[in-house]
Chain A
Amino acid sequence: MTPFTRVVSVAAPLPETDIDTDIIFPARFLLLLDRRGLGAHLFHERRRDGVGARFVLDRPPFDRAQILVAGRNFGCGSSREHAVWALADFGVRVVVAPSFGEIFYANCFRNGVLPVRLEAAPHGRIMTAAETGAPIEIDLGSQTVRLPDGEDIPFEIEPGRRRDLMLGRDEIDAILADDIGDIRDYESRRRATRAWLDPRLK
């Protein structure tokens, strides 16, 4: 995984609440077997609905945005990791929102995407700044969003997740390297006390 330290980019404003993963990545494209190349179907319906102005990610300069600023509860709904794969494939490395769907939030970290959770007021200032099309800086080391006018907005993130993102560390490799002994011990303890939990398909 590419280590994440700092991103400077225009930020695409998507001031809508409850953007679910069906909107981010419609179900019919879930038939694809690969995790690469999914950016083509990101927000598929929104980018082709022909209603009103073109979708923000198709309008320069936002078509090259590495930051997406969305409304609350972004990524709610289905667990499909394709939503994150599609965002990452499109080039989005940061999503800023007041809150996220929980499974989406967890999926981000496994794909080098940083979800930034912020209160309504600072989130509103970032949304306003994003709309100007001026670049915004996100620095994971100092946990700040720097707006074009120089204002620094701090954000919170779980320390373990921050470290893993900054190192580009793969969690599965880490567990396989460090924790297999503990897993084995747990399994043998469990076999002794709760043998009935061992599944068998007859």
Chain B
Amino acid sequence: MPALTLYDKIWSDHVVKPYSDGAALLYIDRHLVQEVSSPQAFAGLDARGVKTRRPEAHLAVADHAVPTKDRDRPLPDSLAARQVRRLVENARDHAIAYIPMRDARHGIVHVIGPELGFTLPGATIVCGDSHTCTHGAFGALAFGIGSSECECVLATQTLKQRKQKRMRVLLEGQPAAGVGVKDMILALIARIGVGGGVGYAIEYAGGAIANLSMEARMTLCNMSIEAGSRVGLVAPDETTFAWLAGRPMAPAGADWEAAMAYWKTLPTDPDAVFDREVSLNVGALAPRVTWGTTPEDNLPIDGVVPDPDREPDPDRRARMQRSLRYMGLKPGARLNEVPIDRVFIGSCTNGRLEDLRQAAAILVGRRVAPNVAAIVVPGSATVRLQAEAEGLDRVFRAAGFEWRDSGCSMCVAMNDDRLQSGERCASTSNRNFEGRQGPNGRTHLMSPAMAAAAAISGKLADVRALESRRSMA
């Protein structure tokens, strides 16, 4: 038997048939359906007169365009309301389970899939959304697809795919206080670049992984696509199994035992070979923030805005110049002195309970700076309720944050939560692209603790300084 990687094992277990051109027809176990990428897929299906092949393999929820406040009122008539209505109708017509906005299980697709146990190790999971790689944290082969591919999955429960190359990222060492998994993934993206993972399925391994919670692993895998990689994986272990046990859609009883026996065969064989290996000493990292308009444009918070004139590569220099113009930053400016207007804590990257706990720990007994408007948008209603049970909502509110209902919100600015032109935001989301949080809005990506530190300081700030001050008090 040749030594296989986790990715190889899940892949070959799902090949329905190989094609002569090297592609394969891959079986898809589960499909998450959201309002933005699905209407055209259902319309295509209806135009063909084809039914959904396995309705029970799909789960629908509206997360991108839904409001995060005043949910008890009817949606004002708008494009967003029309899109949500369309999803409800399509789910009904195709007998697909739909989770309504006011349901206690509502939330961002990539938060609720795992919460419900819809996400399982060894499964293939797709969604018309690039951050589907999040589910790879469970050792699932999960990747984002376009609407036409969603239509294909609805119609056939398969996709024609080409196998990717394999990359292993070894995270070694233990992070210092104030440094979290967001800093690790930002550092990796800075190292390999936003195109560094194109064509690869990344497996995260190494000594630092064992100590990461499932929430942290989801943050890690979530941002694989920001390195260009459609797939990010972590092998399932005891942490994974403990997290999944008892989830509503996870197997139970004898099924659980059978599943566990299979899941334990999934980790990469010791002798398996990867096409590329990258290793990162996470013990040497400082908290990081982005300064530009791609996620690779990030540096330690004690750094300065880089100077394009010192960049030898002409393409990269041109992009840096454009980024700095867009961001309104001058080369040489200290990052920890950049003033901000808004703070957003949430998204499928950092909208989970552990993220909110980390931000709240910094906010206890402190106030948001007067120049800053700050919101927390829990990734799901479950996260929201758990946070409220722990009193985190009171910490956020007392500090001056708005406490919202679940959804994508200011990560993508498709509802009313968005930056005004020129506003600068400390954000726990995953993309600092031009216009991502609203036309001409300026985004700085960072961890939840760093976003909390920025909220208090009114500028980008080093959370380590805040923590040490508190422990001295």
Chain A residues packing against B (C-beta within 8 Å): 15-18, 20, 22-23, 26-28, 30-35, 45, 71-73, 76-81, 84, 99-103, 106-107, 110-111, 158-161, 163, 171-173, 175-176, 179-180, 182-183, 186-187, 190, 194-202
Q: With A18-B319, A179-B16, A186-B16 as given contacts, are A198 and B56 in contact (CB-CB < 8 Å)?
A: yes
Q: How far is A45 from B146 in the complex, measured between Cα atoms in Å?
A: 23
**Binary contact readout B433-459 vs A (1 if CB under 8 angstroms, 0 otherwise):** 111100110000000000000000000
Q: In chain A, what residue has the closest Cβ to B296?
A: A18
Q: Which residues of A lie under 8 Å from residue B318 when comparing CB positions?
A: 15-17
Q: In chain A, what residue has the closest Cβ to B319?
A: A17
Q: How far is A197 from B119 in the complex, measured between Cα atoms in Å?
A: 10
Q: Is the CB of A16 within 8 A of B319?
A: yes
Interface-side segment among B69-77, B78-86, B301-309, B391-399: B78-86
Q: How far is A190 from B157 in the complex, measured between Cα atoms in Å?
A: 13
Q: Can you sample 24 A-B contacts with CB below 8 Å?
A: A20-B431, A28-B414, A31-B36, A32-B79, A35-B40, A45-B440, A77-B433, A79-B146, A99-B195, A103-B146, A107-B149, A110-B146, A160-B20, A173-B48, A176-B155, A179-B16, A182-B25, A183-B16, A183-B156, A183-B157, A195-B258, A199-B30, A199-B56, A199-B249
Q: Is the CB of B25 within 8 A of A22?
A: no
Q: Is the CB of B228 within 8 A of A76?
A: yes
Q: Is the CB of B249 within 8 A of A200?
A: yes
Q: How far is A32 from B56 in the complex, measured between Cα atoms in Å?
A: 27
Q: How far is A71 from B314 in the complex, measured between Cα atoms in Å?
A: 12
CB-contact partner of B22 in A158, A163, A175, under 8 A: A158
Chain B residues packing against A (C-beta within 8 Å): 16-17, 19-23, 25, 27, 29-30, 36-37, 39-40, 43-44, 48, 50, 56-57, 59, 64-65, 78-80, 82-83, 86, 97, 116, 118, 120, 122-123, 128-130, 144-149, 151-152, 155-158, 160, 162, 194-195, 198-199, 225, 228, 230, 248-249, 251, 255-256, 258-259, 262, 294, 315-316, 318-319, 322, 412-414, 431, 433-436, 439-440
Q: Is the CB of B48 within 8 A of A179?
A: no
Q: Is the CB of B158 within 8 A of A183?
A: yes
Q: Is the CB of B194 within 8 A of A73?
A: yes
Q: How far is A191 from B286 in the complex, measured between Cα atoms in Å?
A: 49
Q: With A103-B146, A182-B17 as given contacts, are A23 and B79 in contact (CB-CB < 8 Å)?
A: no
Q: Which residues of A lie under 8 Å from residue B64 when comparing CB positions?
A: 30
Q: In chain A, what residue has the closest Cβ to B84?
A: A31
Q: Is the CB of B195 within 8 A of A172?
A: no
Q: Name 14 extra pairs, CB < 8 A, besides A78-B130, A110-B146, A202-B248.
A: A15-B318, A17-B318, A18-B294, A31-B80, A31-B414, A79-B144, A99-B198, A158-B23, A160-B21, A176-B155, A179-B16, A187-B157, A197-B123, A200-B249
